[in-house]
Amino acid sequence: MELPPYATLGQKIWHYTFYVICGLIFFFLIAPILTIIPLSFNAENFFTFTPGMLAFEAEAYSLKHYEDFFTNPSWQQALRNSVQIAPVATLISVALGTLAAVGLSQPHVPARRAIMAILISPMIVPLIISAAGMYFFYSRIGLQGTYLGVVLAHAALGIPFVIITVTATLVGFDNSLTRASANLGAGPVRTFFKVQMPLILPGVVSGGLFAFITSFDEVVVVLFVGSAGQKTLPWQMFIGLREQISPTILAVATILVVISIALLTTVELLRRRSERLRGLSPS
């Protein structure tokens, strides 16, 4: 942003103040996350920077917390649980959320706004309330403390993300394409998978990633709905923080941050690719 030559002194001051404010906001958002990355390489069992680390001495750094994460059976069990729960929950979220978004995007559906609001509510209702509600409901029907229970609970949390991203993609979807497909002889199922799905795929994928990250990061609902058998990574981190105060959680946090960044980059690349295919931007 360039200042125009006619800017007054007040505008100039505001111009630079604005940059400072933006910088502070970024710092406030990112600094806590960035801090844990060097701390996870701490050679001591502390959560603080040791004098040796600040002096950049090689022996003050180590990979021992990472080693702990990959060798400690309770961390490994938590990782296995997370990896077993998140993908399945994501799959359910994506399937149901995409269907809901496609259905609710058709203008003839009655009460579509109300249905949409109900489906999105898990994102708006405070998590602790959803979790408590799920606990009582799942206890009644025997799902509390089961793998299926946690998967379903996480799927319910992930569905709103999928609905929102897919609905956004469908806004730009040209309905004459489904008509053309039908006209060329394709039934509704073929039309959905061959014509509609490839074009809304970026929305489906980003919704799916949000759903995955939600399940992978979620601690409140799993504490209520799950039992020791479904102890996920965030749950183990929560215990680690409360009971053991082990810097291993910093190593885990770093790994999770890296995974999240990798996933979001993938989404962005996919989105650009699809826009290029649809001719929305020059290749």
Partner 1 sequence: MPLLDTQADDAFVQFERVQKSYDGETLVVKDLNLTLPKGEFLTMLGPSGSGKTTCLMMLAGFESATHGEIRLKGQPINNIPPHKRGIGMVFQNYALFPHMSVAENLSFPLEVRKMGKSEREEKIRRALDMVQMGDFGGRRPAQLSGGQQQRIALARALVFEPELVLMDEPLGALDKQLRETLQFEITRLAHDLGITVVYVTHDQTEALTMSDRVAVFDDGRIQQLAPPDELYEAPQNSFVAQFIGENNTLDGTVSQLSGDKCIVQLDSGEEIDALPVNVSNVGDRTLVSIRPERVEIDPDLGPDSHTLDAEVLEFIYMGDVFRTRLRVAGRDDFIVKTRNRADQVRLSPGQKVKLGWLPQDCRALDP
What minimum distance in Å lies between the beta carbon of 180 and partner 1?
A: 4
Determine if 273 is a binding residue for partner 1 (CB under 8 A).
no
Determine if 93 is a binding residue for partner 1 (CB under 8 A).
no
How many Cβ atoms sit within 10 Å of the Cβ of residue 130?
21
Q: Which of 264, 269, 261 is nearest to 37 (CA)?
A: 261
The residue within the footprint of partner 1, chosen from 55, 71, 183, 243 (CB under 8 A), is 183
What minimum distance in Å lies between the beta carbon of 109 and partner 1?
A: 17
The residue within the footprint of partner 1, chosen from 180, 245, 259, 269 (CB under 8 A), is 180
Determine if 277 is a binding residue for partner 1 (CB under 8 A).
yes
Tokens of 141: 């029907």
The distance from CA 119 to its chain's CA centroid, rounded to whole angstroms, is 18
Going along 110-269, which residue ranges are E strands? none
Determine if 71 is a binding residue for partner 1 (CB under 8 A).
no
251 neighbors 65 (Cβ within 8 angstroms): yes
Q: Which of 107, 97, 79 is nearest to 251 (CA)?
A: 79
The residue within the footprint of partner 1, chosen from 115, 182, 257, 270 (CB under 8 A), is 182
228 Cβ neighbours under 8 A, 6+ residues apart: none
Determine if 98 is a binding residue for partner 1 (CB under 8 A).
no
Stretch that binds partner 1, among 2-10, 24-32, 124-132, 178-186 (CB under 8 A): 178-186
The residue within the footprint of partner 1, chosen from 82, 98, 105, 181 (CB under 8 A), is 181
Helix (H) or strand (E) holding 258: helix 248-277
The residue within the footprint of partner 1, chosen from 23, 133, 142, 198 (CB under 8 A), is 198
Of the two residues 142 and 188, which places its CB atom closer to partner 1 in the complex? 188
What minimum distance in Å lies between the beta carbon of 191 and partner 1?
A: 8
259 Cβ neighbours under 8 A, 6+ residues apart: 216
Determine if 110 is a binding residue for partner 1 (CB under 8 A).
no
What minimum distance in Å lies between the beta carbon of 273 and partner 1?
A: 11
Nearest-angstrom CA–CA distance, 172 and 280: 11
The residue within the footprint of partner 1, chosen from 4, 51, 107, 187 (CB under 8 A), is 187
Stretch that binds partner 1, among 12-20, 147-155, 194-202, 247-255 (CB under 8 A): 194-202
Long-range interactions of 102-106: CB distance < 8 A, separation 24+: 102/166, 102/170, 102/192, 102/196, 102/200, 104/163, 104/167, 105/167, 105/170, 105/171, 105/173
Q: What is the dihedral of CA 103, 109, 113, 116, to 10 degrees?
A: -30
Stretch that binds partner 1, among 68-76, 94-102, 156-164, 185-193 (CB under 8 A): 185-193
Phi, psi of 42 (to 5 degrees): -60, 135
Determine if 179 is a binding residue for partner 1 (CB under 8 A).
yes
Determine if 34 is a binding residue for partner 1 (CB under 8 A).
no
Residues near partner 1 (CB under 8 A) are: 174, 176-177, 179-188, 190-191, 194-195, 198-199, 274, 277-279
